[in-house]
Structure 1
Amino acid sequence: MTDPRTAPYAALLLRVALGVLFLAHAGLKVMVFTPAGTASFFESLGLPGALAHVTILLETFGGLALIAGVYSRVVALLLIPVLLGAIATVHGAAGFFFNNAGGGWEYPAFWIVALLTSALLGDGAHALRPTPNLRKAGH
C-alpha cells in the first residue's frame, strides 16, 4: 500500500534527483566536451551535429522543469527518447554493465525506469506547476 503522507515526498525526491542528473549531463556536454565537441561526437556516430544542441537543450530545460516541478510527468516521458538514443548509439554495443569500456546500457536503462516511475508517481510535493489531471478535467 502506498502511504499518502510520504508518497508526495518520494516523488519530489525522485523528480529532483533526475533533474539534477540531466543538468549534470548537459553541463558535461557544455563545459567539458563543449557544444562543438559534442556535435562532432554525434557526427562520428552518424547523427546530425545539430542533434547534439537539441540534446543539450532537452537535458537543460528538462532537468530544470523536473527540479521545479513544471509538468514533470510529461517532461519525464519526453526525456526518455534522449536515453533510448544514448543506448542505441553508444551504450548498447558496450554490453550491459556501465563500467564496461564505452559504458554499457545498464545505467541509461535504469534511468529510463526512474523516469517512467516519476511519470507514474506524479509531480509530488512542492511542484510549481503540476501536470493537469485529464481525468478530473473530464477528458
Structure 2
Amino acid sequence: MVKTTGQNDITVKGLSRAEVYKFRVRAYSISGSKKLYGKYSAVLKTATAPKKPVLSVKKASKTSVKLSWKQGSKADGFVIYMQTGKDGFKKVKNVSAETTAYTKKNLKKGRTYQFKIRSYKKAGSSKVYSKYSKTLSVKLR
C-alpha cells in the first residue's frame, strides 16, 4: 500500500529513475467503525523518466557529423533530433539502449547543424522521456 487518501489524485515521491511501476486503486467507505472496500481498479503501468544523456558532437567529414553520448540510467532507447537554420528540431533517428554513437551523413557543406538527444523508458505501450540533452552545434566547412 502506498497511501490512503480521500483525494482523486496522488503524487508518489521518492521513486527511482528509469523504473517501471504498477499501481492500482480501490475505493472504500466507512460504515460505523468498519471500512468497506470495493474492487481494485485495473493495473496502471507507468515509469519514471531516465536521466538525460550527455551529448558530444564533432565533424566526421565534410558532409557528416558524429554524435556520441553517455548512456542514461536504465534507458530503453534514445531519440536524436536535428535542426538546420531556423526550422524547428526534427527527429532524425530512434536508437536502442545499447547504442552510444550515431553518424549523420549526407549533410551540406557550409551549413550549421544543431543536435540534441533524449532517452526514454518503456512502460507498456507508452514511453516516458528524459529531459533533452544540451543542444550542440557544428558547422560543416
Higher helix residue share: 1
Of the two, which has the highest radius of gyration? 2
Normalising to structure 1: TM-score of the pair? 0.20
